[in-house]
Amino acid sequence: MDLNNVVKIPIGPQHPCLKEPACFTVSLNGERLAGLDLRLGYNHRGIEKAAESRTYIQNIYLIERVCGICSHSHPSCYIQCVEQIAGLEVPARGRYLRSLIGELERVHSHLLWLGVAAYEIGFETLLMYSWRDREVVMDILAMLTGNRVNYAANVIGGANRDITEDHKKDILKAVDVLEERTKYYIEVATEEATLIARLSNVGYISLDDVKLMGTAGPTARASGLDYDVRRDDPYAAYKDIPFKVITDTHCDVYGRALVRVGELMESYKMIRHIIQNIPDGPIAVKAPRKIPAGEAISRYEAPRGEDVHYVRSNGTDKPERVRVRAPTMVNLLSVPKMLEGDNLADVPITIAAIDPCFSCTDRAIRVSDLDGGNAKVMTWNETRRFGIDWYRKNGIDFTDLNKRLAGRMR
């Protein structure tokens, strides 16, 4: 390699091909990649520190905001830790409800991914199709929980809301529609020559490298790693729900697409099984406000891979320490390996293929306002003031609403 011809291009922190801030500095020799340097942390919000000064119940809603897409995965994982420390046994119906929302979330996340991946390779028709179909599951989630994301479907000790017979009918109808559509996407993925040619041998990572780097989720399963937390370390109702762990041996972006569409089909089966077999009974048990001293670690198979949460309690109503690991944290470190020797044009799709979520990765302090290289640290109150003023300048004022809310609380 002639080092004189190496050109360095920064992709990020803000870049049209990234959906969230991260900085990939690529070294190019012609159009071939000669190296990749990662800089992360642009979305660091201090959530782990903030969790230490909030109660266990407030933390459910804080942890939910670690990530918009996995907004059921993170709180479920956190709550499992708390329940384990407090020795709470979640009733069967509550466990089934958790799995139900979890699988609906996986469907919406995988359909979202399919659209993003299609967009990155210029297949915009597929983006339009898959995002239109995603609305079906978004409507179901909104119907069940009252929100499209940030569902607040959990409480410590069980589920927050129950489902009715009418809900069941609507869910089954929606699943039928989505299954039909997904069959079509599988047809596209396995028969459409352009798509196969564009995705094959792009972002290759071998099974050995996957194991070495600790890669997680569909990205790892597409390299033949037969591992899924839902089967191997079951939580919620997964012990009772039959399903197949989808793996593939292509080891490239094409394999990752096949695994995700395959997982969609499994999720539909699981949702049907849950609806047909959900036991009657209470959905939650009452949890104490103060959690006895202890520690627990729990895992959860989020759509993007394995979430790991750790909670240590000290006997008060606030945790001593909360630690969050999102799958993107490990998957990102595999990206330089995947891109070795690839073309510059493969960078966006390879990054998109791990389904990255930088917000979840950078959970844990506050924002610096970097203007013209002159760093200024904003205090919490200044940040809040800035937000309020910015919205006011743009014609949105919450003063009346805040007053009304304050009046109602009194």
Partner 1 sequence: MANEQAIQQELQEKFPYFGEKITISSERRIWAEVASSNFFEAFDYIVKKMNFSMLCLIIGLDSGDNLEFIYNLSRYDGTMLNLKTFVPKTNPVHKTVTADYFPGAELYERELVDCFGARIEGLPEGNRYPLPDTWPEGQYPLRKDWTPDMLDKQPEGK
Q: Count of residues binding partner 1 (CB under 8 A)?
A: 49
Other C-beta atoms closer than 10 Å to the C-beta of 14 total 11
Among residues 272, 283, 365, 300, which one has the least CA distance to residue 75? 300
Question: Does the protein bind partner 1 through residue 89 (CB under 8 A)?
Answer: no
Told to check if 362 binds partner 1 by CB under 8 A, we report: yes
Q: Under the criterion CB under 8 A, does residue 366 sit at the interface with partner 1?
A: yes
Token code pair at residue 128: 């339009």
Of the listed pieces 114-122, 168-176, 243-251, 327-335, which binds partner 1 according to CB under 8 A? 327-335
Going by C-beta distance under 8 Å and a sequence separation of 6 or more, which residues neighbour residue 27? 6, 7, 8, 33, 34, 35, 36, 37
Would you say 203 and 121 are in contact if contact means Cβ atoms under 8 Å apart? no
Pick from 21, 27, 152, 227 the residue near partner 1 by CB under 8 A. 227
Q: How far is the CB of 270 from partner 1 (least distance, A)?
A: 19
Pick one of 376, 393, 408, 410: the residue that binds partner 1 (CB under 8 A): 376
SS3 content of the chain, % helix, strand, coil (to 5): 50, 15, 35
Q: Which of 32, 173, 183, 211 binds partner 1 (CB under 8 A)?
A: 211
Residue 325 in contact with partner 1, rule: CB under 8 A: yes
* Candidate ranges 59-67, 89-97, 171-179, 328-336; the one touching partner 1 (CB under 8 A): 328-336
Residue 221's closest CA among 162, 274, 261? 261
Q: Please say which residue, 131 or 227, places its beta carbon nearer to partner 1.
A: 227
Q: What is the DSSP code (8-state) at residue 42? A: T
195: nearest Cα among 133, 263, 120: 120
Q: x/- site string to partner 1, residues 2 to 41, per CB under 8 A?
A: -----------------------------------xxxxx
By CB under 8 A, tell whether 232 contacts partner 1: yes
Question: Does residue 365 interact with partner 1 by CB under 8 A?
Answer: yes
For 378, other C-beta atoms within 10 Å of its C-beta total 14
Helices (H), ranges, 303-375: 327-339, 347-353, 358-361
Pairing of strands 305-313, 319-325: antiparallel
Q: How far is CA 48 from the centre of its chain?
A: 17
| Alpha carbon distance 371, 263 (integer Å) | 44
User: Is residue 215 within the footprint of partner 1 (CB under 8 A)?
Assistant: yes
Quote the least distance from Cβ 11 to partner 1, whole Å. 14
Cα–Cα dist 148/137, whole Å: 9
Q: In this chain, which stretch among 93-101, 251-259, 264-272, 358-366 interacts with partner 1, using CB under 8 A?
A: 358-366
Sign of CA dihedral 287, 288, 289, 290: negative
**Residue selected from 193, 375, 396, 409 as contacting partner 1 according to rule CB under 8 A:** 375
* Window 145-184: residues binding partner 1 (CB under 8 A): none
Binding flag, residue 306, partner 1 (CB under 8 A): yes
In the set 21, 323, 344, 388, which binds partner 1 (CB under 8 A)? Answer: 323
Binder among 28, 136, 275, 297 for partner 1 (CB under 8 A)? 297
Mark the segment that binds partner 1 (CB under 8 A) among 1-9, 130-138, 270-278, 362-370: 362-370
Per CB under 8 A, 335 contacts partner 1:
no
**What DSSP line would sit under 260-308, residue for residue?**
HHHHHHHHHHHHHHHHHHPPPS-SB----SS--SEEEEEEEEETTEEEE
Residue ranges binding partner 1 (CB under 8 A): 37-41, 44, 46, 48-49, 84, 211-215, 226-227, 229, 232-233, 296-297, 299, 306, 308, 310, 312, 320-321, 323, 325, 329-330, 332-334, 361-362, 364-366, 368, 370, 374-377, 379-380
